[in-house]
A and B are shown apart, each in its own frame.
Chain A
Amino acid sequence: MRKIPLLLLITTGMMAITSCSHHHSGIHIDEKKEKMVGSFEVKRVKFQNGLKLLILKDESSPTFAYQTWFEVGSRNEVIGKTGLAHLFEHMMFKGTKKHPDGKFDSILEQAGVEGENAFTSNDHTVYIQELPKEHLDLIVNLESDRMVNLVVDDQSFKTEREVVQNERRYRKENSAEGTLYQIMFETIFTDSPYHWPVIGYEEDLNSMNAQDAREFYQRYYSPDRATIVVVGDVNENEVIRLVDKAYGSIQAKNTPNGIIKRDTEQTAQKRKKVPLNIQNDKLWMAYRIPEATHPDAPVFELIQGLLSDGMNSRLNRALVNTGISTSASSGSFSMKDPGIFVFMTDLQKGKNASLAEGIILREIEQLKNKPVPADELTRAKNVIRFHFYEQLSTAKGKANFLGDNETKFGNFEAGLRMREEIMKVTPEQIMSAAKKYFNTTNMTVLTGVPKK
Chain B
Amino acid sequence: MKIASIILFILFSINTNASEFFFEKDQSLPLVNINIALKGGSTQDPEGKNGVTDLMSRLILRGTKSKTKQQIDLTLDQLGGQLGTETRGEFMVIRGSVLSENLPAFLNLIEEILITPSFSQKEFEKLKKEQISNLMENLDNDQKLMRTKFDSIIFKGHPFSKINHGTIKDITSLTITDIQNQYKKIINQSRMLILASGDTEKTAFSAFQKKVDEKLNSNTQIDVIEPFKNYPHKIKVVLIDKPDRTQTQISIAQRGSSFTNPSLDAIQIGNFAFGGGTFLSKLMVELRVKRGWTYGAGSAFKMASQPHSWRVSFFPKNADTPAAIKETLRLLTDLRDHGITQAEFEAAKSSMINSAGFNFNTPEKRIENLMVEKIFNLPEGYHKNFAKRISDISLEDVNQALKKFIEPDHVIIGLVATASITKAALAKELGIKEANIEIVDYTF
Contacts and interface: CB of A to CB of B under 8 A. Distances in A.
A and B assemble together: yes
Interface of A: 37-38, 40, 58, 60-63, 93, 102, 105-106, 109-114, 116, 130, 132, 158-167, 169-170, 173-177, 276-280, 310-313, 316-317, 320-321, 323, 326, 346-349, 375, 378-380, 382-383, 385-386, 389-390, 392-394, 451
A326 B133 contact: yes
A382 B75 CA distance: 11
A386 B288 CA distance: 40
30 contacts: A38-B27, A40-B28, A60-B28, A63-B358, A109-B279, A112-B350, A132-B357, A159-B291, A160-B292, A163-B294, A166-B247, A166-B292, A166-B317, A169-B246, A170-B315, A174-B245, A177-B140, A277-B140, A310-B76, A312-B74, A312-B77, A317-B73, A323-B126, A326-B137, A348-B130, A383-B77, A385-B99, A386-B81, A389-B29, A389-B31
A111 B354 contact: yes
A174 B247 contact: yes
Nearest to B136: A279
A166 B137 contact: no
Contacts of B291: 159, 162
Contacts of A383: 77, 80
Nearest to B292: A162
B140 A279 contact: yes
Given A321-B70, A392-B29, 20 more contacts: A60-B28, A62-B361, A63-B357, A111-B354, A159-B292, A162-B291, A163-B288, A163-B294, A166-B292, A166-B317, A175-B141, A279-B136, A279-B137, A310-B82, A312-B73, A312-B76, A313-B77, A323-B126, A323-B130, A326-B133
B126 A346 contact: no
Interface string B31-71: 10000000000000000000000000000000000000110
A160 B347 CA distance: 24
B278 A109 contact: yes
Contacts of A346: 133, 137
Given A38-B27, A312-B76, A394-B362, A386 B315 contact: no
Looking at A111, A160, A279, A385, which has the most chain B CB atoms within 10 Å of its CB? A279
Nearest to B73: A311
Q: Which 8 A-B pairs have the closest CB atoms?
A: A112-B354, A162-B292, A311-B73, A112-B355, A61-B361, A279-B136, A382-B80, A310-B77
Contacts of A390: 31, 97
Most buried by A among B77, B142, B443: B77
A277 B280 CA distance: 35
Contacts of A60: 26, 28, 361-362
A451 to B, nearest CB: 8
Nearest to A105: B279
Contact of A169 (B70, B80, B317, B361): B317
B245 A110 contact: no
Nearest to B131: A326
Interface residues of B, number: 67
Interface in B118-177: 126, 129-130, 132-134, 136-137, 139-142
Contacts of B91: none
A111 B355 CA distance: 7
B292 A176 contact: no
Contact of B78 (A40, A169, A320, A382): A382
A371 B246 CA distance: 50
B290 interface: yes
Contacts of B136: 279-280, 349
B368 to A, nearest CB: 13
A46 B243 CA distance: 54
A392 B31 CA distance: 11
B376 to A, nearest CB: 24
Contact of B29 (A110, A113, A177, A393): A393
A393 B31 contact: yes
A114 B292 contact: no
B315 A109 contact: no
Contact of B30 (A37, A161, A310, A311): A37
A166 B132 contact: no
Contacts of B133: 280, 326, 346-349
B103 to A, nearest CB: 13
Contact of B28 (A38, A63, A111, A175): A38
B353 interface: yes
Contacts of A40: 28
Nearest to A116: B279
B131 to A, nearest CB: 9
A129 to B, nearest CB: 11
Nearest to B359: A114
Given A349-B136, A389-B29, A389-B31, A106 B347 contact: yes
Contacts of A277: 140, 242-244
A190 to B, nearest CB: 27
Contacts of B77: 310-313, 379-380, 382-383
B409 to A, nearest CB: 28
A158 B354 CA distance: 33
Interface in B230-258: 242-247
A332 to B, nearest CB: 20
A58 B28 CA distance: 9
Contacts of B21: none
Contact of B362 (A102, A380, A393): A393
A167 B362 CA distance: 32
B317 to A, nearest CB: 6
A192 B361 CA distance: 43
Contacts of B357: 61-63, 112, 132
A105 B278 contact: yes
B114 interface: no
Contacts of A278: 137, 140
B289 interface: yes
Nearest to A135: B354
A109 B280 contact: yes
A312 B76 CA distance: 8
Residue from A106, A167, A386 having most chain B Cβ neighbours under 10 A: A386
Contacts of A316: 73
Nearest to B61: A311
